[in-house]
Amino acid sequence: MDKKKNISMAVIKRLPKYHRYLMDLMKNDVDRISSKELSEKIGFTASQIRQDLNCFGDFGQQGYGYNVGELYGQICNILGLTKTYKTVIIGAGNIGQAIANYTRFEKIGFRLEAIFDINPKLIGIRIRDIEIRDIDYLDDYLKESSIDIGVICVPNNNAQKVCDILVKNKVKGIWNFAPVDLVTPEGIKIENVHLSDSLLTLTCLLNDID
Amino acid sequence: MDKKKNISMAVIKRLPKYHRYLMDLMKNDVDRISSKELSEKIGFTASQIRQDLNCFGDFGQQGYGYNVGELYGQICNILGLTKTYKTVIIGAGNIGQAIANYTRFEKIGFRLEAIFDINPKLIGIRIRDIEIRDIDYLDDYLKESSIDIGVICVPNNNAQKVCDILVKNKVKGIWNFAPVDLVTPEGIKIENVHLSDSLLTLTCLLNDID
């Protein structure tokens, strides 16, 4: 684990995919796999795999392959899957509700504590037994809670304001679904899901084949 | 536009961000911008910007900057924003419903034609006046329609099957929300939104700061 601090963002972005494939291998009772076999499944080159996995320890053995269970455990550890993350969702529109309803995120340690919205029609409604609260009380709520992740699902023009409230209250992780690039002090970790950007990537690719 | 075929995937992935920032500049009546000014806003280096934008034409002029309107128009064109895309959503669960309800995707030319699900409780319900149909009729429906994009929002174990039906019926674009890597013949364009992977990236980053 001492090598961990040197893991690049590019490797971090590939880790969830390793995690998915290793979990499948575990489910299928595969104990060992070579970088070549893993390459065929996962679609990265064998050399890329060796380089990536070398970032966080000495797992592979020439002519012997990787110990699937050990590798899986280590990746879970690096991905922070051994912890739980107290989470609030801000914005209970389409995507906010979808995220709130995703029970499988709980396996990742995502523990939904509260949901906030500005819309009086939504305030008071319950999603999976969690009441939607008035966004005016977000600041007060955060002062009294210890929240790890804030999920921003509000429209563009409110996203930075919500982000500032989260940061002010020591929320360190932001999962941002608003199509804006948030400005935060150093140390705050942001992961963006820009759905419009993703759709535009697809239309761009489609346009290319005409 | 002759340079377009050479645009790399890395540049394509950055184009939606250029599109967003240029749209903002247009809204604020900015006519010209230098790569340095754009760099400060968008967060790519000025040299990266010059290199990217050079991929699809000769826009910038030394000491003069980019013509915002011209550049925006060209990026819209490359992103395929001048067309409409007939779309079906397969899977009307949390994320499928969220996507169906996103009216702002219509501005990108996303025209929702039909929604399919396997759940009898959902079949017949209307989302934005589009009735959820029985997934058993997906194949027949696609035979008679000319669909550009299929949005896969079904669980993992059905995603490849749905993908195969789409591909068989000449759907060229797949927006995949299932956390699996779909296998398709060449020429099919896939854009993945793996929400669990995204959340894992965030937990990994958070784990790093402990």
- pLDDT tens digit string along A148-158? 999 999 999 99
> How far B126 CA lies from chain A's nearest CA (Å)?
15
N- to C-terminal Cα separation, chain B: 48
- pLDDT-based confidence at residue B135 (cuts at 50, 70, 90): very high
Question: Is A4 in Cβ contact with B200 (below 8 Å)?
Answer: no
> Are B203 and A43 an interchain contact pair (Cβ–Cβ within 8 Å)?
no
Domain check: are A110 and A74 in the same one? no
* B181-197 tens-digit pLDDT: 999 999 999 999 999 99
In a domain, A59, yes or no: yes
B164 and B92 inside one domain: yes
Cross-strand partners of B66: B33
Residues A33, A107: one domain?
no
Please state, rounded to an integer, the average pLDDT across all residues of chain A: 91
In a domain, B205, yes or no: no
Residue A19 shares a structural domain with residue A91: no
| Residue A204 within a domain | no
Helices (H), A145-185: 156-168
More confident call, B180 vs B61: B180
Lowest-confidence region among A179-183, B48-52, B133-137, B148-152: B48-52
Rounded-to-integer distance, Cα A29 and Cα A24, Å: 9
Q: Is the predicted pLDDT of residue B89 greater than 60, yes or no?
A: yes
Pair A137, A179 in one domain: yes
Q: Has residue B127 been placed in a domain?
A: yes
A183 shares contact with chain B (CB less than 8 Å): no
Please check if A95 is assigned to a binding site.
yes
- One domain, residues B60 and B163: no
B40 and B105 fall within a common domain:
no
Looking at the complex, does the CB of residue B149 fall below 8 Å from at least one CB of chain A? yes
Q: Is it the case that residue A62 has pLDDT exceeding 80?
A: no
Cα A192 from Cα A182, distance rounded (Å): 9
Is B109 among the annotated ligand-binding positions?
no
CATH number for the domain spanning B36: value is 1.10.10.10
Q: Are residues A167 and A189 in the same domain?
A: yes
Name the domain count of chain B.
2
| pLDDT tens digits for range B59-82 | 666 677 889 998 999 899 989 898
For range A12-28, the mean pLDDT: 92
Q: What is the helix (H) or strand (E) element at residue A113, kind and residue range?
A: strand A110-117
User: Given this model, what pLDDT does residue B4 score?
Assistant: 53
> Annotated binding residue at B94?
yes
Q: Are residues A103 and A189 in the same domain?
A: yes
The HSE-up count of residue B107 (CA atoms within 13 Å, CB side) is 8
Claim to verify: residue B90 and residue B194 sit in the same structural domain: yes
pLDDT (0 to 100) of residue B202: 95
Residue predicted with more confidence, B205 or B61: B205
Given A48, A78, A108, the domain boundary residue is: A78
pLDDT band per the 50, 70, 90 thresholds, residue B108: confident
Burial profile B40-64: b = 16 or more Cβ within 10 angstroms, e = fewer: eebebeeeebbebbeebeeebeeee
Number of H helices, E strands in chain B: 8, 9
Same domain, A137 and A165: yes
C-alpha closest to that of A182 among A166, A170, A203? A166
Interface ipTM: 0.91
Same-domain pairing of A124 and A188: yes
List the single residue in B with minimal CA-CA distance to A75: B204
Assess A206–B contact: CB distance below 8 Å, yes or no: yes
Residue A209 has pLDDT above 50, yes or no: no
Domain membership flag for residue B189: yes
User: For residue B178, what is the domain's CATH number?
Assistant: 3.40.50.720
Q: Do A104 and B196 touch (CB under 8 A)?
A: yes
Strand B173-176 with A130-134, pairing: unpaired
Supply the pLDDT for residue A210.
Answer: 45
- Asked which of B61, B78, B95 is the last residue of a domain, the reply is B78
Task: Note whether residue B8 is domain-resident.
Answer: yes
- B199–A172 CB contact, under 8 Å: no
- CA distance to A26, A194, B31, B33, B111, per residue, from B100 (Å): 35, 16, 35, 36, 10
Which domain covers residue A160, as residue numbers?
Answer: 85-198
Out of B108, B109, B200, name the one closest to residue A16 (CB): B200
Question: Does the residue A208 lie in any domain?
Answer: no
pLDDT band at B6 (very low <50, low <70, confident <90, very high): low
**What percent of chain B clears pLDDT 90, i.e. is strictly above it?**
73
Band (pLDDT 50/70/90 cuts) for residue B210 is very low
Among B63, B78, B93, residue at a domain's last position: B78
Q: Is A92 annotated as a binding residue?
A: yes
Q: Per the structure block, which two tokens stand in for B126?
A: 């209307």
User: At B195, which helix (H) or strand (E)?
Assistant: helix B195-208
Residue A209 in domain: no
Out of B20, B95, B104, closest to residue A98 by CB? B95
Nearest chain A residue (CA) to B180:
A20
Q: Which residues from B are below 8 Å from A99, CB to CB? A: 94, 195
3-class DSSP assignment, residue B66: strand
- How much is the pLDDT for A1? 43
Q: CA B192, CA B178: separation in Å to the nearest integer?
A: 8
Q: Among residues B191, B207, B161, B195, which one has the least CA distance to residue B80?
A: B191
